[in-house]
Structure 1
Amino acid sequence: MNYKVKTLYHCTILLWFITCPYFLKAQFGFSIPEDKKSVEIPFQNFNNLIVLEVTLKNKVTVNFILDTSIEHTILTEKAVGDFLKFRYARKMRLGQNGDQVFYGHVAVDAQMSLQDSVQTGEMSSMLVLETDYLNLAGMAGSKVHGLIGYDIFKSFVVEVDHSKQVIRLFKPDIFSAPKGYKTFEMEVVERRPYLSSEIVFENWEQRKMKFLLKTGASHAVFFEDDSVEYFLPYRNLEVPIGQAFGGEILGHIGRLRSFNIDEYTLDHPLATFAKPEHVDQNENSQKYGDGSIGQGILQRFDVIYDFHHAKIYLKKNNNFSDTFEYDMSGIGINVKQAKEYVFTIKSIRKDSPAAKSGLQIGDIILSINGDPLTINNYGQYLNLFLTREGKKVTFIVKRAAEEVECTYRLARFI
């Protein structure tokens, strides 16, 4: 299968609160029966993201993005927690935009299961957002209700088989790596995994750098250090790279010469560059690593994450040599869930095909190429915008009280 790469909103900027000293100690996590050495669980691939079905309190099944970089499980739909009668131990202030304050609630009885045999205890903690600030459906292009990470990685050695779209969970004390994988040391700092890699910038400057491994982001490489502005590729685009409580954060996207993990060389990967004004300049703030590696890189391997022994195992798969592609349309879409999902154009890239077509910010998308746009087919159009240069695209949008038709052809810009 030919997976392409798209850089989406960089969750790390928005989810600063996830790594803060928390309200509760993490609970014991998941377990599997004593008579099993491992279990295999299928996942869905939504826009390069690993999405697992998680059942809450044996009653409601939701979709969670698997993210190696988050410590606490997050549920974005409080209505689900209320229906399950979660016991909320504390209300937390997460941020503010003008007069609007954003809150989350700490549930302490959020029992979870991945299968009947893979469960947490009854007293598992979870952060439940009062409203869905994260817009994960917009990131994934499908229905997603939250994120899960360390609750799984602290319990198992986790193999992500992108080729077969399954994860395999192994008991750490009896795990031995299967044949064909190459072993690398990784650092686990504050429950987050880091891997050192070599970057060759467009100007041939070489740097050995340390990156957070982030399966919950679909970008390839993201640089958070303002020193890399000196190596910004000549051909680049200014694009939204993140979301904060005050709105979108802009940065640049361009290409590197190569990204190297020892003997593995990925040519001309896309790289996202933060602007200096968005880099934390506080001398007292703790910074570890130069940025993050997302699924744009990681999905080109079958990967085994061993947090317990600080090792990562990599094996190239059929996606390894695929071309890195960026959005050929030029629009940013906001996905809002009311009774039904509503798709609104929130940004239009200058000089893009969309900009020349007459589309406007605020247009509500009714259909694309004759098909009504829904949460069930949104992901396929995100993929279309990445893979079909020259493809004709026709939008029907609602603008004020009228319906407007706009047409353009997809074009590669980078």
Structure 2
Amino acid sequence: MKKGFLLIILSFSLFNFSFSQDIFFIQNKKKSDKIKFKLINNLIVIPVEINGVTLSFLLDTGVTKPIIFNFLNVSDTLRIRNTEKIFLRGLGEGESVETLKSENNVVKIGDAIKLNQDLYAIYDTNLNFAPRLGFPVHGIIGYDLFKDLVVEINYSNRFIRLSEPYLYTYKSCNKCERLNLEFYKNKPYINGEVNIDKKDISVKLLIDSGGSDALWLFEDDSLGIKSSNKYFNDFLGHGLSGSVYGKRSKVKTFSLKSFSLKNANVAFPDSVYVSHAKKFKNRSGSVAGNILKRFNVIIDYKRAIITLNKNRYFNDKFKYNKSGIEIAHSGFRFVKEKDNNVTNSYGVSTKTDATSLAVNNRYKISLKPTYVIVELRKNSPAEKAGLRKGDIILSINNKSSYQFKLNQMIQMFYGNKGDRIKLRIERNYNIIDFKKILTFEFKLEDVFN
């Protein structure tokens, strides 16, 4: 009897182990784990371990397949194996992107582990989000994690909590709202409402934590979904298949049940860039990071519900880039600066710094980040002042650009109407060794006020 009982238990354990290889499960007694994240430009960046190597991934509810970007030597560093070539399609007007599909990879996020994960490695050198975020991002993960675990996203304290669905219990919350999730091709959708031209319009929106904007809507005259007379054409973002452009505007209100946000930012992408996204005919657009971050969120795919609880960001005003320029990190350069550290008789700083070298007792040469203008809006304050794409920013308001993090510099362009911006730039005239240092000034303009 004991042997038979032991055999049954052992068989059941082996069955559970083989089954769990194909799902994320929590490796601790509580069956729950808390992981800190970085919030960069409204995007969630979490640590993810792939085959023993720790990387930084975007947590993106809008992506169905986990992706690793090209700049890693994925074959050697991550020991990725069993690959086959496939093509993925995303936002943008470009072609599908060639990827290598790899099977049987071990993925860990905190104490959550999956032993048999498919990965998609993209080798297109243009698909690298790190320059625009100012932080290394090695990949994106979404559906595979959300389908297996309950995911709490605490935007205010910047952590996620992963829990096994069968043990998860909901706490009472009188001020929360719970919405039903609908799925199309493994992507989650919710119903909301926008007020445009004094008309309340029901909309079905993709939940897109991988988008930094607030709200995207697909124009549809028959439903009354269209921009107001106050709008401007702008660069909206970069998808797997290229850049996306369209109109930026405001909606009077955006509502999710009892939660209502006033004067919310909205973008209306040109249809040519989102034709792939519009294959789900009931879809009206997306709700993204700049709205999601105003809530602490519980996403539960097993029960098909999302719970929202407004947090300290809820009443923040919706801001937008009033300069007309988008900047990105563009490598490094050597900069001569004053050395505040003590140096020895050989001119070497006694404070170890792998990125700098003392040239005498007063100065040192350091390796510093470089920022470049990558997008320039037509008729914007920056364009009217004379700035161009490709200009390298040396200083902003008389402070060297390398003293800023990328996000700090970008926030200056989101300031108040009338704020003065002074940029000192280096311009390359495409002639060998012919570069010019120029200074430009402009004031931020608010199209909507």
Query: So what's the TM-score if we normalise by structure 1?
Result: 0.83
* Whole-angstrom CA distance in 1 between matches of 2:73 and 2:130: 16
* Whole-angstrom CA distance in 1 between matches of 2:315 and 2:157: 18
1:395 aligns with 2:423: yes
1:68 to 47, 61, 65: 61
Alignment map for 1:46-195 (pairs within 5 Å): 46-58=40-52, 60-82=53-75, 83-94=77-88, 102-115=97-110, 117-121=111-115, 123-180=116-173, 181-195=176-190
Q: Amino acid of the residue matched to residue 133 of structure 2? A: A
Deviations 1:133-184 (A, max 9, x none): 3332244342212111112102211110111111111110121222323222
C-alpha deviation, 1:343, in angstroms:
3.6
Q: Secondary structure at the match of 1:79?
A: coil
* Whole-angstrom CA distance in 1 between matches of 2:224 and 2:132: 26
* Whole-angstrom CA distance in 2 between matches of 1:329 and 1:369: 14
% identical equivalent positions: 28
* Whole-angstrom CA distance in 1 between matches of 2:67 and 2:289: 20
Q: Per the alignment, do residues 114 and 306 of structure 1 end up closer, same or farther by CA in structure 2, a change over 3 Å counting?
A: same
* Whole-angstrom CA distance in 2 between matches of 1:98 and 1:51: 26
C-alpha deviation, 1:124, in angstroms:
1.5
* Whole-angstrom CA distance in 2 between matches of 1:98 and 1:300: 31
* Whole-angstrom CA distance in 1 between matches of 2:87 and 2:370: 27
1:302 matched to which residue of 2? Answer: 296
Q: Note the residue ranges of structure 2 that are not aligned, 5 or more in a row.
A: 1-19, 334-367, 429-434
C-alpha deviation, 1:374, in angstroms:
5.5
Q: Given that residues 252 and 263 in structure 2 are in contact (C-alpha distance below 8 angstroms), is that contact kept between their aligned partners in structure 1?
A: yes
Q: Amino acid of the residue matched to residue 74 of structure 2? A: G
Q: Given that residues 150 and 164 in structure 2 are in contact (C-alpha distance below 8 angstroms), is that contact kept between their aligned partners in structure 1?
A: yes
Q: Per the alignment, do residues 140 and 323 of structure 1 end up closer, same or farther by CA in structure 2, a change over 3 Å counting?
A: same
Q: Secondary structure at the match of 2:72?
A: helix
Q: Amino acid of the residue matched to residue 251 of structure 1? A: G
Q: Given that residues 141 and 382 in structure 1 are in contact (C-alpha distance below 8 angstroms), is that contact kept between their aligned partners in structure 2?
A: no
1:365 to 381, 393, 400: 393
Q: Per the alignment, do residues 152 and 375 of structure 1 end up closer, same or farther by CA in structure 2, a change over 3 Å counting?
A: farther
Q: Secondary structure at the match of 1:69?
A: coil
Q: Secondary structure at the match of 2:414?
A: helix
Larger radius of gyration: 2
Deviations 1:342-374 (A, max 9, x none): 543233223322123221122123343455546
Structure number having the greater strand percentage: 2
Q: Per the alignment, do residues 271 and 348 of structure 1 end up closer, same or farther by CA in structure 2, a change over 3 Å counting?
A: same
Which range moves more in the overlay, 384-393 or 301-310? 384-393
Q: Per the alignment, do residues 246 and 295 of structure 1 end up closer, same or farther by CA in structure 2, a change over 3 Å counting?
A: closer
1:257 matched to which residue of 2? Answer: 252
C-alpha deviation, 1:332, in angstroms:
2.4
Q: Per the alignment, do residues 61 and 367 of structure 1 end up closer, same or farther by CA in structure 2, a change over 3 Å counting?
A: farther
* Whole-angstrom CA distance in 1 between matches of 2:160 and 2:240: 33
C-alpha deviation, 1:292, in angstroms:
0.5
2:268 to 266, 273, 291: 273
1:383 matched to which residue of 2? Answer: 411
Q: Given that residues 376 and 388 in structure 2 are in contact (C-alpha distance below 8 angstroms), is that contact kept between their aligned partners in structure 1?
A: yes
Deviations 1:52-95 (A, max 9, x none): 0112222x322111111111111113424132231151123457
Deviations 1:292-350 (A, max 9, x none): 00011111111100011100101011111111111021112355569997543233223
Q: Per the alignment, do residues 223 and 98 of structure 1 end up closer, same or farther by CA in structure 2, a change over 3 Å counting?
A: closer
Q: Note the residue ranges of structure 1 that are not aligned, 5 or more in a row.
A: 1-25
Q: Per the alignment, do residues 309 and 321 of structure 1 end up closer, same or farther by CA in structure 2, a change over 3 Å counting?
A: same
Q: Amino acid of the residue matched to residue 438 of structure 2? A: V
Query: So what's the TM-score if we normalise by structure 2?
Result: 0.77
1:240 matched to which residue of 2? Answer: 235
Q: Secondary structure at the match of 1:50?
A: strand
2:378 matched to which residue of 1? Answer: 350
Q: Per the alignment, do residues 240 and 31 of structure 1 end up closer, same or farther by CA in structure 2, a change over 3 Å counting?
A: same
* Whole-angstrom CA distance in 1 between matches of 2:214 and 2:104: 36
* Whole-angstrom CA distance in 1 between matches of 2:399 and 2:236: 29
Q: Per the alignment, do residues 374 and 233 of structure 1 end up closer, same or farther by CA in structure 2, a change over 3 Å counting?
A: same
2:431 matched to which residue of 1? Answer: none
1:224 matched to which residue of 2? Answer: 218
C-alpha deviation, 1:376, in angstroms:
7.5
* Whole-angstrom CA distance in 2 between matches of 1:128 and 1:381: 31
Aligned length in residues: 384
Greater RCO (Cα-Cα under 8 Å, separation 6 or more):
1
Q: Given that residues 88 and 105 in structure 1 are in contact (C-alpha distance below 8 angstroms), is that contact kept between their aligned partners in structure 2?
A: no
* Whole-angstrom CA distance in 1 between matches of 2:171 and 2:274: 40
Q: Given that residues 184 and 280 in structure 2 are in contact (C-alpha distance below 8 angstroms), is that contact kept between their aligned partners in structure 1?
A: no
Q: Per the alignment, do residues 392 and 99 of structure 1 end up closer, same or farther by CA in structure 2, a change over 3 Å counting?
A: closer
Q: Given that residues 210 and 290 in structure 1 are in contact (C-alpha distance below 8 angstroms), is that contact kept between their aligned partners in structure 2?
A: yes
Q: Per the alignment, do residues 112 and 369 of structure 1 end up closer, same or farther by CA in structure 2, a change over 3 Å counting?
A: farther
2:305 matched to which residue of 1? Answer: 311
Q: Amino acid of the residue matched to residue 241 of structure 1? A: L
1:40 to 27, 34, 45: 34
C-alpha deviation, 1:118, in angstroms:
2.2
